[in-house]
Structure 1
Amino acid sequence: FRIMLAYVRLSFFLWLYTSICCVQTTSPAQFMDDISGYRSACKKIGWEPKQDCTAYNVIAFHANLKSNLNNLSQNTTIKFENVQLNKGNGYDPATGMFTAPEDGVYSFTWSFLTNKRGTVYIAAVVDNVDHVHTCINNQQSTYINTSGHLIYELKRGNKVWIRTWYLPATFIHGGYYTYFSGSKINSI
């Protein structure tokens, strides 16, 4: 029995070692052949996806502020001009607004940094209606960061943006500290 157990352990180790090492040496053509084989095997046992992954368009953006913002009045749209990613071209840095290119469920996140005694009230807005509020009010740290998240079902053409609300924003730190991101997470 000990010999059999040792053989099983050795076999598993060799299989694991081969799997890891061969991943780096597999050619693209061989990889595609392997994937086709896996798909074929899945179909034979009735285990196949309802829709091919390539049927989905990626819609995602990420943008941050180029510079600090001072003394913004209430209801000022924040324009995140430094666009890192804009798949689907839904985000417009000139307006600070994301326009849904197609129907779906979308996820949005934002974060902002302010300085000592900073006051910033931020709203996530969908078609001119506030849906999430985040704030920092007269905080006492040297700098402090806060963030928010919104998941929302959008129709094509709906707009989402970030704006100040309630009180004027005293200071919002620019650069990578303050950003707005979003992506489509599901079709409807």
Structure 2
Amino acid sequence: MSWKVLVCIISVAVFIKTDSVKAYNDHFHRKYDRICRRLGYQRNFELDKSIVAFNARLATNQINLPPHAVVAFRKVTLNEGNAYDADTGKFTAPTDGIYSFTWTILTRPGDLFQTYLLLNGNKVGFNNVHGRKSDNYETGTTTSIIKMKEHDRVWLSTVARAGFAHRDWSSFSGFRL
């Protein structure tokens, strides 16, 4: 352990005397900043301002969608970076990077719902939820991790005629690693 790190840790410990947890944390971070910046270290516990992440669910049941239809998840619960467009159902990469996408489909007994994850129109992920010979609701979840360039687009499309996907229980999410 370098002497600078040791001095930083000891100095912070000496200055911290407080009763409440919040006051302790605030005080700790101010002291940490002051001491460690003087030693040439940079603060690394700040939130990344360029976070890209979204989560959306189906707002309505999707019934008998035609082949190659875009499946748009319109009930957006998170859209950091505003890269997901609920109107089109498409995600546009704001920067180059590695991205992770996960989608879950719930179908009812007797139905089938198959989807592709498309990157600029090319298949990069697959999901098959088969409830045709079942008396139960069936789910399928897929995660795809892909390399994207700025302005590349990703979306979900039906494979063939898609029978039924349940609102709220079907979701699509993604984030940059």
TM-score of the superposed pair, with normalisation by structure 1 = 0.74
Q: Percent identity?
A: 28
1:153 shift after superposition: 1.4
Stretches of structure 2 that go unaligned for 5 or more consecutive residues are: 1-17
For residue 60 of structure 2, what is the aligned residue in structure 1?
A: 67
Is the counterpart of residue 123 in structure 1 residue 123 in structure 2? no
Q: Secondary structure at the match of 1:106?
A: strand
Deviation at 1:103, TM superposition (A): 1.5
SS in 2 for 1:113: strand
Q: How does 1:15-164 map to 2 (within 5 A)?
A: 22=19, 25-28=20-23, 30-38=24-32, 40=35, 53-137=46-130, 138-164=132-158
Q: Deviations over 1:35-77 (max 9, x none)?
A: 2444545996x9x679664454111111111111111111110
Contact 1:119-1:139 at 8 Å conserved across structures: no
**1:10-41 alpha-carbon deviations (Å, 9 max, x no partner):** xxxxxxxxxxx95xx1445x523312444545
Query: Given the alignment of the two structures, is residue 182 of structure 1 paired with residue 174 of structure 2, yes or no?
Result: yes
* Residue-pair matches, total: 159
Tell me if the contact between 1:72 and 1:169 (Cα under 8 Å) persists in the aligned partners: yes
- On the 8 A contact 1:123/1:131 being kept in 2, the answer is yes
- CA shift, 1:132, in A, is 1.1
Aligned-residue Cα RMSD (Å) equals 2.6
Q: Which residue pairs with 2:10 in the alignment? A: none
Who is 2:7 aligned against?
A: none
Provide the rounded CA distance (Å) in 2 between the counterparts of 1:113 and 1:183: 22
Deviation at 1:110, TM superposition (A): 0.5
Query: Could you tell me whether the CA contact under 8 Å between 1:65 and 1:82 is conserved in 2?
Result: yes
What is the deviation of 1:114? 0.4
